[in-house]
């Protein structure tokens, strides 16, 4: 089935989308096997959830669409903003500062490589 995009979504990842996008930029356009090898050795904390999303997308392609996992490439990888938890830190003279604990939603889409 040429041209079919299979995707996987990881929701409520407790790190900012900006930091996740740095990792996603390194794997976009690469083969799934190569992307997982790169993610294994990246020092970023976001590499774990991104690798999980790539593995899930590859498994969805293999099980639901009978695509060969060796021929898959990452065509789309994006991180959108999820829920933001708002916390407060006490400051001097009875004031407060707001702390925003951001979360991400990671979407990875794979497709079979066209020869």
Res 22 pLDDT > 90: yes
Q: Band of the pLDDT at 3, cuts 50, 70, 90?
A: confident
Average confidence (pLDDT) over 37-64: 97
| 38 exposure class (CB count in 10 Å sphere: 0-12, 13-18, 19+) | middle
Sorted by sequence, the CB contacts under 8 Å of residue 78 that are 6+ apart come out as 21, 24, 106, 107
Q: Rounded mean pLDDT of the chain?
A: 95
pLDDT score, position 81:
97
Q: Is 79 helix (H, G, I), strand (E, B) or coil?
A: strand
CA distance 4 to 103: 29
More confident residue, 115 or 80: 80
Domains belonging to the chain, first-starting first, are 6-112 (3.90.470.10)
pLDDT score, position 114:
82
Res 115 pLDDT > 90: no
Q: Band of the pLDDT at 2, cuts 50, 70, 90?
A: low
Q: Band of the pLDDT at 35, cuts 50, 70, 90?
A: very high
Q: Band of the pLDDT at 1, cuts 50, 70, 90?
A: low
CB 8 within 8 A of CB 96: no
């Amino acid at each position: 089935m040429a041209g079919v995009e299979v995707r996987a979504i990881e929701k409520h990842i407790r790190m900012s989308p900006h930091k996740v996008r740095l990792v996603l930029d390194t794997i976009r356009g690469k083969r799934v096997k190569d992307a997982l090898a790169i993610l294994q050795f990246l020092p970023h904390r976001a590499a774990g959830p991104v690798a999980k999303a790539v593995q899930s997308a590859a498994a969805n392609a293999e099980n639901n669409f009978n695509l060969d996992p060796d021929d898959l490439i990452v065509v789309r990888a994006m991180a959108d903003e999820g829920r933001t938890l708002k916390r407060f830190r006490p400051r001097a003279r009875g004031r407060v500062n707001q702390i925003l604990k951001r979360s991400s939603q990671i979407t990875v889409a794979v497709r079979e490589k066209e020869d």
